[in-house]
């Protein structure tokens, strides 16, 4: 059985922290699907197409990394792509509390899908897409938090 893992998120934009987690996780699976989910409570700054393009460019040399957009329940999308694992990155204990609640709900909905948590490298633990968007909206230079492939106008 092929070990397929879904790393769901909005990746708006993808940060160096995301890339760190992806690079460390990819060797654990046969395929790592980066799933850009539509979240009804979030208004993205960039289109799904732009975010997919950035991530494809970052991982263009690694055929194990696939990028897609999806909507609906994450566990339903896992079933569609035959993923038995969900990857979540953790920066702080508060992230864990939030992510564990989601993982518990997903486990009740689909017990065959396991959630895996990877902690972020300390170098990137303060970086979040939300904070990066705030820097950008207020005219700051966010390039130090972003992979070189993410070009901001």
Residue-by-residue pLDDT tens, the chain, 153 positions? 899 999 999 999 999 999 999 999 999 999 999 999 987 777 899 999 999 999 999 999 999 999 999 999 999 999 999 999 999 999 888 889 999 999 999 999 999 999 999 999 989 998 999 999 999 999 999 999 999 999 876
Q: So what's the pLDDT on residue 153?
A: 65
Give the HSE-up count for residue 54: Cα atoms under 13 Å, Cβ half-sphere.
23
Report, as residue numbers or ranges, the catalytic residues: 18, 42, 91, 129
Q: So what's the pLDDT on residue 95?
A: 86
Q: So what's the pLDDT on residue 105?
A: 97
Say if CB 89 and CB 18 are below 8 A apart: yes
Fold of 4-145: Rossmann fold (3.40.50)
CA distance 25 to 38: 23
Domain positions in the chain are 4-145
CA distance 65 to 33: 6
Query: What is the DSSP-derived secondary structure letter of residue 24?
Result: H
């Amino acid at each position: 059985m092929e070990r397929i893992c879904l790393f769901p998120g909005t990746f708006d934009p993808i940060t160096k922290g995301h890339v760190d987690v992806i690079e460390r996780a990819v060797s654990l699976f046969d395929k790592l699907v980066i799933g850009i989910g539509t979240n009804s409570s979030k208004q993205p700054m960039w289109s799904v197409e732009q975010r997919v393009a950035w991530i494809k460019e970052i991982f263009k040399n690694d055929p194990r990394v696939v990028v897609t957009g999806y909507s609906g329940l994450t566990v339903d999308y896992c079933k569609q792509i035959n993923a038995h694992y969900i990857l979540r990155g953790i920066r702080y204990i508060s992230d864990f509390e939030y992510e564990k609640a989601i993982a518990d709900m997903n486990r009740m909905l689909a017990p065959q899908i396991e959630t895996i948590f990877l902690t972020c490298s300390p170098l990137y633990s303060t970086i979040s897409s939300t904070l990066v968007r705030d820097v950008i909206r207020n005219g700051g230079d966010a390039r130090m938090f972003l992979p070189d492939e993410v070009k901001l106008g």
